[in-house]
A and B are shown apart, each in its own frame.
Chain A
Amino acid sequence: MTKRTSICSPLALIVSLTVSNSLWADDALNDSLQTHGFLTQSLIVTDHNNFFGKTSDNDHLGFTEAGVNVSYRPRNDLQLSGQLLSRRAGDTDGGKIRIDYALIDKTFAERPDRRIGARIGRMLNPLGLYNETRDVAFARPSIFLPQSIYFDRNRDLAISSDGVYFYGENRRRRTELLWQVGAGYPRVGNEEIERSFFLTLQPGYLESSSTPSYLGRVLLEIDGGRYVFGMSGAHVRINYRPGGGDVLNEGLISFAPMFLSAQYNGEFFELTSEYAQREFTFQGFGPFRPDQSFTSESAYLQGVYRFNKSYDLLARYDVLYVDQSDRHGKAYSALTGLPAFTRFSRDATLGVGWHVNHSLLLRLEYHSIIGTAWLDASDNLVPSNLTRSWNMYAALASFRF
C-alpha cells in the first residue's frame, strides 16, 4: 500500500461522483434522485502515542474521509440508496473504496401518525446517537466522536451489517417513537478486528457466524427533538477458523453492546450523554485462549454551546474501562505484564467549530487523555512505547455537496 494511491482514492471518489452529479442534474429523474458527498481532512498532533498515523512523529495528515451517496425514489413508498466510502486512518485503514451501505427501503404503510417499513441490504447499524453518521464530519459534534463509545478499533463490526431491518415511527401530539429491529451479518474480514480481539494477527481468520446477529434501537423524541432518549443494542456472533499450524482451535466470539442515550437540544445549548456496556465472550479456542467473559463500560457527558449561527464550543468528558471488574487494569497487568493503563481511557476534550457556510466546516480540538484503551494496535505496534498521560491537538476541514 503506497501512500499516493491511498490519498488518490478519496479524491477520485469525489471527482467521479461530482461529475456524475452534474450529468444527472438536468435529467427528468432529478426530482427523486439526489447525490450528496463529503471530503474531510484532519491534522492530528500528539505528544505521545499515535492516533491515525505516526502522529507523535512527523505524520500528521493520516486521517482523510470521503464519501458519496445516491438515493433514488422511483415511487413514494420505495427508496434505493447507496454510499461509497473511502477512509484513510493511519495504519488502521488504507483508503480503499468500499460500499458503506446499499439498501432498498420499502414503506408498507404511511399515515401522519405512523409509518411502518423494511430495509434490506447493507445498512449502517442504528447504535447510539451517532453510529450511522460517524464518518460525516458535518453530522459529528467534534473532530472525533467520543472514542469510549465510537472507537475505531473494530469499527467495521460496529458500523454496518448485511441483512433485513424493520422500522416504525409512531407519533402523538408531543412525542415521536422511532424503532428499528433487524437481523444480519456484520462485516468482520478486517485485520484490525482480529488485533482488537487477539492483540496480534493470527494464522486463521474471522467470519460471521451462520447464526445471524440481532440489532435494535428505540428512540423517543419529545417536542420535535428538544429531548431525545434512546436505547439500542446488538448481539453479534463471530467464528474463528484456524489456519495452518494454528495454536487456536475453532472458537466463537460473541459481542453484545448496549447503549443508553439522552440529549437535550436547546437553541444555544445542547447537552448529550451516552452510556454503553459491551459484553465479550470467548469460547472454544483451547488452552492458549481459555474461555473468557468480560464487560467493558463507557460513558461521556458532552455540552455544546452555539454562540451564534456559525460558531460552536464543545466540552466533553469521556471514559472507557475495558473490563468493569478490573477498571484500573491491575489484574490484567499482573497477568500479562502489559501496562495497566492500556485497559482504560479518560479523555477531557475542548473544541471550537466554525460553520463557514453550508459547504465548509472548520474545527479545532484539544484532548487531554489518561490511558490508551481506545488506541489502535496498528498505530502503536510496540506496547512499551505507550505513554499513560498524553495530549492530542487536531484541526479539521470538511467540504460537502
Chain B
Amino acid sequence: MSWGRIQRIPGCVDVKCLRVLAVLALLICAPICANADSDQAPLVVVNQSNPQESISLGSLRTVFGMRLRTWPNGTPIKVVVLPDNKKLHIEFCKKVLGIFPHQLRWAWDRLVYSGTGQAPQQVSTEEQMLEALESTPGAIGYLSQVPDGAKVKSIRIR
C-alpha cells in the first residue's frame, strides 16, 4: 500500500511538472526564436569630418546612453536614433550595443526627467538618419549600409 503511494505521487508530480515546464519554456523561447535573425549587424556611422576610426564598445554604450558629450577632438557628440520599434534600431541595440531598446529608453527618461541630461535626436527613417549624419559634424548614428558617395563613414568597434 505504502509502496504504491510512494511510486504514484512522484510520477504524478513529474508529469505535471514537465507539462508546466514545457509550457513555460515555450512561452520564454517563443519570442527569442521569433526574433532570431541572421542579418548582418548595423554599422556605426559618423560624419565624414570625424577623425575617429574606431570606438570601444564601452564608449559606444556611453555615447548612446547619452552620458558622453564630447568627441576627443572637442566636437559635441550628437546622437541620432530611429524610433524604439524600428527594426534597425532594435538590431543596433541588440547586436551592436548588446543591450535592449527598453533599457536605452529608461536611461534617456531618467536623464530627461531629472534634468541631468538630454534625449538623442530622433528621426523617422534611415534616409533622414543619413541626412542628419551628413549635415552634423559631431553626429553618430547607425545604418544598414553606407551608400556610395555619402558624406559619412562607418567606424570599427574595438
A223 within 8 A of B: yes
**Interface size grouping (class) on chain B:** 35 or more
Question: CB-nearest residue of chain A relative to B27?
Answer: A307
In the docked arrangement, what's the CA distance between A358 and B67, Å? 22
Q: Mask for B25-45, Cβ within 8 A of A = 1, else 0?
A: 001100110000000000000
Do residues B116 and A81 form an inter-chain contact, with CB atoms below 8 A? yes
Do residues B119 and A139 form an inter-chain contact, with CB atoms below 8 A? no
| Residue in A139, A173, A308, A358 whose beta carbon sits within 8 Å of that of B84 in the complex | A358
Do residues A105 and B59 form an inter-chain contact, with CB atoms below 8 A? no
A119 within 8 A of B: yes
Do residues A136 and B102 form an inter-chain contact, with CB atoms below 8 A? no
In the docked arrangement, what's the CA distance between A133 and B67, Å? 17
Do residues B110 and A133 form an inter-chain contact, with CB atoms below 8 A? yes
Question: Taking A73-B118, A172-B58 as contacts, is the C-beta distance between A308 and B98 under 8 angstroms?
Answer: no
Among A107-115, A186-194, A238-246, A282-290, the one that faces the other chain is A107-115
Do residues B68 and A112 form an inter-chain contact, with CB atoms below 8 A? yes
In the docked arrangement, what's the CA distance between A79 and B119, Å? 13
Do residues B70 and A110 form an inter-chain contact, with CB atoms below 8 A? yes
A-B residue pairs, 9 tightest by C-beta: A81-B115, A132-B114, A139-B109, A224-B99, A112-B59, A224-B61, A76-B76, A136-B113, A124-B114
Starting from the known contacts A267-B32, A268-B32, 14 additional A-B residue pairs (CB-CB under 8 Å) come to A67-B113, A69-B115, A79-B118, A83-B113, A110-B69, A110-B70, A113-B58, A123-B114, A135-B113, A224-B65, A224-B99, A308-B31, A309-B90, A310-B85
Q: Would you give the shortest CB distance from B66 to chain A, in whole angstroms?
A: 11
Do residues B56 and A112 form an inter-chain contact, with CB atoms below 8 A? yes
**Complex contacts, B32 vs chain A, CB 8 Å:** 267-268
A98 within 8 A of B: no
B83 within 8 A of A: yes
Q: Would you give the shortest CB distance from B137 to chain A, in whole angstroms?
A: 12
A82 within 8 A of B: yes
Q: Mask for A53-92, Cβ within 8 A of B = 1, else 0?
A: 0000000000000010101010011010111000000000
Do residues A358 and B58 form an inter-chain contact, with CB atoms below 8 A? no
Q: Would you give the shortest CB distance from B158 to chain A, in whole angstroms?
A: 11
Question: Taking A71-B115, A110-B70 as contacts, is the C-beta distance between A307 and B31 under 8 angstroms?
Answer: yes
Q: Mask for B86-116, Cβ within 8 A of A = 1, else 0?
A: 0000100010011111110011011011111
A96 within 8 A of B: no
**Complex contacts, B68 vs chain A, CB 8 Å:** 110, 112, 115
Question: Taking A115-B67, A139-B106, A223-B98 as contacts, is the C-beta distance between A36 and B119 under 8 angstroms?
Answer: yes
Question: Taking A71-B118, A112-B62, A171-B62 as contacts, is the C-beta distance between A224 and B103 under 8 angstroms?
Answer: yes
A176 within 8 A of B: yes
Question: CB-nearest residue of chain B relative to A138?
Answer: B109
**Complex contacts, B83 vs chain A, CB 8 Å:** 358
A347 within 8 A of B: no
In the docked arrangement, what's the CA distance between A173 and B58, Å? 6
Do residues B85 and A133 form an inter-chain contact, with CB atoms below 8 A? no
A330 within 8 A of B: no
Q: Would you give the shortest CB distance from B57 to chain A, in whole angstroms?
A: 8
Do residues B31 and A77 form an inter-chain contact, with CB atoms below 8 A? no
Do residues A309 and B62 form an inter-chain contact, with CB atoms below 8 A? no
In the docked arrangement, what's the CA distance between A139 and B31, Å? 24
Question: CB-nearest residue of chain B relative to A36?
Answer: B112
Q: Mask for A117-133, Cβ within 8 A of B = 1, else 0?
A: 00100011010000011
In the docked arrangement, what's the CA distance between A176 and B99, Å? 14
A396 within 8 A of B: no
Q: Would you give the shortest CB distance from B82 to chain A, in whole angstroms?
A: 11
A306 within 8 A of B: yes
Question: CB-nearest residue of chain B relative to A169?
Answer: B67
Q: Mask for A265-282, Cβ within 8 A of B = 1, else 0?
A: 111100000000000000
